[in-house]
Amino acid sequence: MEAVKCLSGGASLEANAESVLRAITPSLDPTRHKGQAGKIAVVGGCREYTGAPYFAAISALKIGADLSHVFCTEGAATVIKSYSPELIVHPILEESYNISGVNDEGKRDISKKILSEFDKWMERFDCLVVGPGLGRDPFLLECVSQIMTRARQSNVPIVVDGDGLFLVTNSIELVSGYRLAVLTPNVIEYKRLVQKVLGCDVNDQNTHGELLSLSKQIGGVTILRKGKSDLISDGEKVQSVSIYGSPRRCGGQGDILSGSVAVFLSWARQCNLAAERESTISRTNPTVLGCIAGSALLRKAAALAFEHKKRSTLTTDIIEHLGQSLEAISPVS
């Protein structure tokens, strides 16, 4: 495959994203049952932010995942449920304002209960998306830290975005050395990561070397640096996705990306498990494949949405074009 040739040592930095999409997108098979095409969980959503977890979770379904869950606070749950009946919403997270009168022992009990509730579902998930609409409440972040630790113990892949990156930047040990973790920072989030991990400012003259060094320093975590060209590294090499997207930079596109990467990562892992017959794809890191595919699909859907909506393009318009964009690259078989 051309995609894999590039990934496994070809001279070109630019990934053959369409070949990756075709390679890892499963065909629609009537013999498969519900759940085999992916079960994704989004951990995020609080009083202030309900759109971001919805965008990530619904994008996963629109691409082709079978089930999409959202774990959020009670204050966010009803709102998120009202957006779509397709999502399975769990209002189990708590914020500090809700337990302000509770002593430390009581807070520990609440934290244990939250983790216990999440544990009931953990083994069902193919990937977690942590961070969309999470907010920065200290108690909430501490509970999510424990969820991430438990997911890591269970070898569940984790895509970290939004406020999840704030959490990880301040507690890098949550993902350090975990090769099934993906970080998707924007310009500001990337700057904070570089300052925290490498102890310096971003060097725009050595973009690729810096990204490679950052990924290595965090133990081979895959990083998707969002920008004019999305740059992806797992500490071994750097890949680029430069497909033209849209000049309309509406908020929420990062949430689409995180949900998309989660689905494609889980599909790439399925390819690896089935893969003695496809030895080239099986040697490629599934987190890298997931990032390449997610980046490419978002850009194509954004371009298609802009073609129709121009300046009035919104995140919901891009989501509605995800399926059409994927079908154009990897037709249903």
List, as residue ranges, the binding site for (6S)-NADPHX: 133, 186-192, 255
Residue 183 to residue 236: CA distance in whole angstroms: 16
Sheet holding 88-93, edge to edge: 88-93, 67-73, 39-43, 127-130, 158-160, 181-183, 222-225, 230-233, 238-241
Cβ–Cβ under 8 Å, residues 142 and 225: no
Binding residues: 133, 186-192, 226-230, 245-255
Residue 144 to residue 171: CA distance in whole angstroms: 12
Can you tell me whether residue 72 is helix, strand or coil? strand
Which helix (H) or strand (E) segment holds residue 264: the answer is: helix 253-273
Binding residues for ATP: 226-230, 245-254
Handedness of CA 246, 161, 251, 328 (dihedral sign): positive
Can you tell me whether residue 316 is helix, strand or coil? helix
In 3D space, the residue among 262, 304, 241 whose CA is nearest the CA of residue 67 turns out to be: 262
Cα 207 from chain centroid?
22
